Each structure stands twice: as structure tokens, then as C-alpha cells.
Structure 1
Amino acid sequence: MDFSEKPVLTGDRTVLRPFTAEDADTMWEIVNDPEVVRFTFEPSTELTLDGLRSWYGVRTADPDRLDLAVTDRATGELVGEVVLYEWDPAARGCTFRTLVGPRGRGRGLGSEATRLIVGHAFERVGLHRVQLEVYADNARARRVYEKAGFMVEGVRREAALRGGAWVDGVLMAVLDHEWEARARTDATQVTGEPRLYTP
């Protein structure tokens, strides 16, 4: 059980696929978007285009993490990424993060991408727990995570200095049995009868 398999995950609006080095130019634009910078990176983070080319060129090689490009299914445009990392095989858990650039926002792409990769973690990889941390003032991301079933477990008070102000870090997680129960409920509400959930 690890992340050796680098799948293609297809939803109604998005396709998640492995990265290639050619994606670096688009990701360079995305990671320099002010909202992405504000909510994703430490202030001291220094990124370069060459560094991104090296990074995305080898994302398919790591068995202990899964980085997938989020693309718009209708156009094929790369709009962001979803990542499962910090894999703990003994606890069957990992950490999740995502970022979506401006052209992917407000259309449900991030929500669907989150459900697809978390569903993969539970249903294909066999994980027990997926966790994340989000800044308290990132309301958009918190809504996405809550819709996907993540629950608040705690708060790291004034955990980061962002733009001259202290911001809390909100710890969230979802467990395999919670995911299964929620998926079963969602499937029943859609069809009126129980069915096997396929993300």
C-alpha cells in the first residue's frame, strides 16, 4: 500500500492526471497568483521556473506521495494540483493539500478534484485517515474541505504571520468510515436507492 500508482482520475468537470515537466510553465503562473501565494506558501519560499521544471518532471517517481495535475475536463487546461504526501504506512494516513489558480476557481473544479483524490486515497489505496491544515481566513478552501467531509479537529492559534497579521491554522481530517458513510448517503440521495459509490 503506497502511492506508486499514478492514476488518471476522471470526474464530471475535471481530470486529474500525472504531472510532466511541460506543466511547469503553467504552474509557474498559478503559483505566482496572489491568492495562491497568500494561502499556500511560507513568506520565505523562493520558487524559480527551473526549479518547478525539475520538481514536476520527477513527480511520477515518488512512491510515498501522489501529485496530480487538476485539469478542466472540457478544455484540458491545467488549473491547479492536488497532493497526498507525508504518507504514514503504520497509521495508514497521509496529509492532503491543493491549490487552484484563478482560471479554475468558482466552477466546482477544486471541490470535485478534492473528492476524486480523497476517494482514491480511501477506496483504492486503502488509507484510514487523510488530514490537512488550512489557514483560518481561507474561507473558500474551508468550504471545499467541509463539503468533502473533512471535520475540524483543532486550531493552532496564531500559527503563522501572514501580511503582518497572525493567522490561526485549522486542523481538519476525514476517516475512511466517515467517507464511506457519507458517500453511501450521497449516493442514496441522488438515486433514491442505495448503490455502490463511484467518485
Structure 2
Amino acid sequence: MFSDKPVLVGSRVTLRPVGPEHAEGLFELVSDAEVRRLTGSHGEIDLEAARRWCATRGDHDDRLDLAIMAGDSYVGEVVLNELDPANRSCNLRIALLGSRVFGKGYGTEAIELVLGHAFTRTPLHRVSLWVHTFNERARHVYKKAGFVEEGVLRDALHWDGAWHDSVIMSVLRPEWLAGSRSLQ
């Protein structure tokens, strides 16, 4: 379903298929302590693993990995993964590089662009995600993009000795189209 690896252009960001040239940016992203907390990422990777990962993203037609670029600068990634073709659904994952790029509208526009692609260029009906309850900034952005809260995963994340809930959210093609969010 994701054999087409598009370049999506907005006013603030351009989304480009992830390739080897994005490895250092990805490594910086996954090494940032605040990004790791917000995404609940316990695992660590080294630069060589990031290089191998980025080099293989174009080989997968069951996912769409896009680098978020502001000009020539890598500022994050947005991914459609966990594809369920029979039910025309997938998961959305996004992470920005760190606090120096937060609050600039990059994530909001990246989500709008990727949903525009998903709902106008693929047969997807549902895009879902989950977000930790303490990540209010992300929850606000997701709601603004049309995501609806569906439920809570209780104590889904153990971080720094405390348990945290996660909220399941989704947006459906008819809802997204009715919201006039199409970027065609």
C-alpha cells in the first residue's frame, strides 16, 4: 500500500522519504532525553544502527517513513506503520528533534500532510495512534488534526519509577474529509 514514497510539500516543512542522509538526524532525535520521555522510548540505538535503519526504509511497502525537513534541516520524522490492509487502517507515529524545534508548527503541518496523503492517495479508512497523558502538547495537536480520543490504556508506560496512562486516538477518512483538511 505504501510502495509510493512521496515527497509532500507544505509551507513550513517538506516530508521526504527517509534515507541514509537522515541517519544523523534520527540518531540525535532518539538520543534526546525529552523526546525519549515524550515518546516513552526505553530502547537506545547507536549511530551505526540508525544508518542501517534509515538505509532500509524505502524497502518496505507496508509502512511510510518520512523525514520532516525545515529547509535543509532534519527536524523529525512522521511514520505510517502497523498497516492492516484488510481493515484499511494503520498507526501514525511522529517525533520531533527536541525542544529547539517544538512550538514552530512543524509537527502540526507534518501530520496534516501525511493524513492528506493517506486519505486522498491510499485506500486507508482509519489512522490511529496513542499518546501518553502527560504529553498535552501532542494531544492538542492531534485533536486539531481531527483525531478523536477513543479510550485509555491504563498504566501503559513505566517511566522514572511512575506509571502513566496512554490515550488511544484515531481519525477516520469520512471525518477527515468532512473537516475540509484535504491538501489537494
The alignment's TM-score, normalised by the length of structure 1, stands at: 0.88
Q: Secondary structure at the match of 2:4?
A: coil
Shift of 1:94: 0.2
1:99 equivalent to 2:75? Answer no
Unaligned runs of 5+ in 1: 187-196
User: In structure 1, what is the Cα distance between the partners aligned to 2:176 and 2:40?
Assistant: 28
| C-alpha displacement of 1:41 | 4.1
The AA in structure 2 aligned to 1:100 is L
- Which amino acid letter does the alignment assign opposite residue 52 of structure 1? A
* Map 1:1-199 → 2, pairs under 5 A: 2-43=1-42, 45-72=43-70, 75-102=71-98, 103-183=100-180, 197-198=182-183
1:166 is paired with a residue whose SS is strand
CA distance in 1 between counterparts of 2:76 and 2:151 reads 27
**TM-score between both structures, scaled by the size of structure 2:** 0.95
Q: Distance in 2 between matches of 1:158 and 1:60?
A: 35
- Contact 1:104 1:110 (8 Å CA) reproduced: no
Mark the runs of 5 or more structure 2 residues left unpaired by the alignment: none
Structure 1 stretch 111-120 or stretch 30-39: which is displaced more?
30-39
Q: Distance in 1 between matches of 2:75 and 2:105?
A: 12
Equivalent residue letter for 2:110: A
Q: CA deviation at 1:46?
A: 2.4
**Distance in 2 (alpha carbons) for counterparts of 1:98 and 1:198:** 19
Number of residues paired by the alignment? 183
SS at match of 2:22: helix
Deviation at 1:198, TM superposition (A): 2.3
- The answer on whether the counterparts of 1:159 and 1:169 sit within 8 Å (CA) in structure 2 is yes
One-letter amino acid of the counterpart of residue 15, structure 1: T
> What letter is aligned with 1:154?
G
Output the aligned Cα RMSD: 1.2
% same residue = 48
Give the drift of 1:158: 1.2
Whole-Å separation in 1 of the counterparts to 2:6 and 2:127: 18
Matching residue's letter, 1:109: Y
CA separation in 2, counterparts of 1:8 and 1:41?
A: 28
SS of 1:157 mapped into structure 2: strand
Pick the structure with greater CA Rg: 1
Residue 61 of structure 2 aligns to which amino acid in structure 1? P
Conservation of the 8 A alpha-carbon contact between 2:2 and 2:63? yes
